[in-house]
């Protein structure tokens, strides 16, 4: 071996990596061979990764009990049936724990069951659909009539003609498959308190407790700065208000700060609560595009409802050469399109970042069970690596939770400020050197300094 190779740290690191990979392959190959020799055992231990992942990411009619896959905390189900009658019942009536022995071990799973309600001489049956176009939603089911059976047979024949046929029951529009038979289904109006809805209420309650707790502190202690967790919360309020909202909106800060501060802390709390594994966490709120869409829609409404005349003038008659806006309204189309792309960017950015973080953590955790069939050595090594990377990703998601809340608030304040431009501000370059305007600016600056000086004099720094 030459002296160059001995003194080159890159070559030494490469040799260590190669040796580590060779050791991993040596441990992995015998375990893979043993798994291939016993395909029945491999099939039993295989996991439906997609099903498990989406079960944790999507909404549900019950809240998972910590460290138990076969139990749910029931939530209220509120639906309107086909005859417009309203029904409210516990989600516990829609599922049941079914136990089975696999490989000599007892396993329990949640299976959907029919919830039957008798009222005014009528029978109502509700079910969480599995083989249906309304998968994982509550549907009302009816026995098939002669006309329904004929329609079902025709639709099944059409499905088979397409060639896209699974080995099990087929998904047929208007029908649900349950317990070996098809039923006619009706998707009721559903305003149930699902897991995501309950988590929204919890997030709102936490934000209210934080805000009113800070208000109560200042009412009791005056301008004395809080300490501990309340001090950190007060620091966040000051940072968002002065360095983000006020820097963007200027004199319009007081008008829009309540909404923007609420959005920041609401998103932050939802992000952080979603990272907690057990109740009251575990709900993937900001990874649900419906939630981020509503938040972006709020910014869209505030931006355009409170937009100034000059804002709308720049959209429908912008200051560009005439041939770009007449007779073909090229710029008008672009500006109107931009009105909708801004909230769309807010919605997708928050949704994609938070959903991606949750998916990475779940995938790293599932790796432990996926490679479990390869032997104890590989499973042990994978467990250590997966746990370390999962902890790292969770810590990174905590940082991302703050960043995404800040970015959403920052962009919202920028979009709102762009809609608050007045004609005199737009033509500011024409007023440069105007002694009257410069004197007015100096007066406003002096008033602000005097205001801050009065507040600082009341602060008790002890």
* Mean pLDDT for the stretch of residues 394-408: 91
> What CA–CA distances, in Å, run from 287 to 37, 53, 57, 134, 404?
41, 13, 8, 21, 12
* Mean pLDDT for the stretch of residues 13-19: 56
What are the tokens at 380?
């042990």
Percent of the chain residues topping a pLDDT of 70: 76
The dihedral through the CA atoms of 294, 298, 301, 307 has a sign that is negative
The 10s digit of each residue's pLDDT in 300-345 is: 999 999 999 989 998 998 888 888 888 889 999 999 999 999 999 9
Of the pLDDT bands very low, low, confident and very high (cuts 50, 70, 90), residue 462 is very low
What local confidence, expressed as pLDDT, does residue 365 receive? 78
DSSP tag of 83: T
| Strand spans (E) along 61-209 | 62-64, 72-74, 76-80, 86-90, 95-102, 105-112, 115-119, 122-128, 138-142, 175-178, 181-186, 189-190
Q: Is the pLDDT higher at 428 or at 176?
A: 176
CB 262, CB 272: distance < 8 Å = no
> What CA–CA distances, in Å, run from 247 to 180, 253, 404, 413, 414?
64, 9, 19, 9, 9
Q: Which residue has the tokens 């998968």?
A: 135
What local confidence, expressed as pLDDT, does residue 27 receive? 45
Please state, in angstroms and rounded to a whole number, the distance separating the CA atoms of residues 149 and 181.
11
CB 97, CB 140: distance < 8 Å = no
Please state, in angstroms and rounded to a whole number, the distance separating the CA atoms of residues 28 and 33.
9
| Bond from prior residue into 11 cis (ω within 30 degrees of 0) | no
CB 78, CB 138: distance < 8 Å = no
CB 170, CB 158: distance < 8 Å = no
Q: Are strands 105-112 and 95-102 parallel, antiparallel or unpaired?
A: antiparallel
Sort 145 into a burial class: Cβ within 10 Å, 0-12 / 13-18 / 19+.
exposed
Please state, in angstroms and rounded to a whole number, the distance separating the CA atoms of residues 394 and 392.
5
Q: Is the pLDDT higher at 161 or at 457?
A: 161
What local confidence, expressed as pLDDT, does residue 184 receive? 95
Least confident range of 55-64, 120-129, 177-186, 285-294: 55-64
CB 283, CB 201: distance < 8 Å = no
* Mean pLDDT for the stretch of residues 349-372: 82
- Given a cut of 90, whether residue 439 has pLDDT beyond it is no
- Given a cut of 70, whether residue 440 has pLDDT beyond it is yes
What are the tokens at 167?
């080995």
- Could you give the maximum distance between any two Cα atoms of the chain, in Å? 94
Burial letters for 345-368: b for 16+ Cβ neighbours within 10 Å, e otherwise? Answer: ebbebbbebbbebbbbbbbbbbbb
| Single pTM value for the model | 0.77
What local confidence, expressed as pLDDT, does residue 279 receive? 78
Of the pLDDT bands very low, low, confident and very high (cuts 50, 70, 90), residue 41 is very low
DSSP string of 83-98? Answer: TS-EEEEEGGGGEEEE
CB 416, CB 306: distance < 8 Å = yes
What local confidence, expressed as pLDDT, does residue 166 receive? 62
Of the pLDDT bands very low, low, confident and very high (cuts 50, 70, 90), residue 392 is confident
Q: Which residue has the tokens 């919830």?
A: 115
| Bond from prior residue into 77 cis (ω within 30 degrees of 0) | no
Residues linked to residue 80 through DSSP beta bridges, in sequence order:
86, 189
The dihedral through the CA atoms of 327, 333, 334, 336 has a sign that is positive
Of the pLDDT bands very low, low, confident and very high (cuts 50, 70, 90), residue 32 is very low
């Amino acid at each position: 071996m030459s002296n160059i190779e001995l003194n080159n740290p890159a070559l030494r690191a490469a040799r260590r990596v190669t040796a580590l990979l060779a050791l991993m392959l040596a441990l992995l190959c015998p375990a893979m061979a043993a798994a291939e020799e016993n395909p029945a055992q491999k099939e039993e231990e295989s996991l439906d990764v997609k099903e498990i992942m989406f079960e944790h990411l999507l909404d549900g009619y019950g809240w998972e009990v910590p460290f138990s896959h076969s139990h749910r905390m029931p939530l209220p189900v509120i639906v309107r049936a086909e005859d417009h009658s309203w029904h409210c019942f516990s989600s516990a009536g829609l599922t049941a724990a079914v136990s089975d022995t696999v490989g000599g071990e007892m396993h329990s799973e949640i299976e959907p069951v029919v919830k039957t309600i008798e009222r005014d001489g009528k029978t109502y049956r509700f079910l969480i659909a599995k083989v249906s176009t309304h998968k994982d939603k509550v549907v009302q089911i009816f026995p098939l009539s002669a006309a329904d059976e004929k329609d079902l047979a025709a639709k099944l024949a059409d499905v088979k003609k397409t060639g896209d046929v699974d080995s099990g029951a087929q998904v047929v529009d208007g029908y649900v498959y349950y317990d070996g038979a098809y039923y006619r289904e009706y998707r009721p109006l559903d305003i149930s308190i699902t897991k995501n809805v309950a988590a929204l209420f919890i997030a709102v309650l936490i934000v209210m407790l934080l805000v009113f707790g800070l208000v109560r502190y200042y009412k009791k202690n005056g301008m004395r700065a809080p300490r501990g967790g309340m001090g950190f919360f007060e620091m966040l309020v000051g940072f968002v208000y002065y360095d983000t909202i006020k820097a963007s909106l200027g004199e319009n800060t007081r008008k829009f700060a309540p909404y923007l501060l609420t959005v920041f802390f609401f998103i932050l709390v939802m992000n952080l609560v979603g990272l907690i594994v057990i109740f009251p966490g575990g709900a993937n709120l900001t990874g649900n595009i419906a939630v981020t869409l509503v938040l972006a829609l709020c910014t869209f409404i505030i931006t355009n409802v409170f937009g100034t005349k000059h804002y709308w003038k720049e959209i429908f008659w912008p200051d560009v050469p005439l041939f770009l806006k007449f007779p073909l309204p090229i710029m008008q189309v672009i500006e109107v399109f931009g009105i909708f792309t801004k909230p769309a960017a807010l919605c997708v950015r928050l949704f994609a970042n938070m959903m991606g973080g949750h998916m990475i953590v779940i995938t790293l955790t599932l790796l432990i069970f996926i490679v479990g069939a390869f032997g104890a050595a590989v499973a042990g090594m994978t467990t250590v690596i997966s746990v370390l990377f999962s902890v790292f990703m969770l810590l990174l998601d905590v940082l991302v939770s703050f960043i995404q809340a800040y970015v959403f608030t920052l962009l919202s304040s920028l979009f709102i400020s762009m809609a608050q431009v007045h004609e005199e501000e737009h033509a500011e370059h024409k007023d440069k050197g105007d002694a009257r305007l410069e004197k007015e600016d100096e007066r406003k600056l002096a008033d602000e300094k005097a205001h801050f000086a009065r507040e600082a004099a009341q602060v008790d720094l002890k």
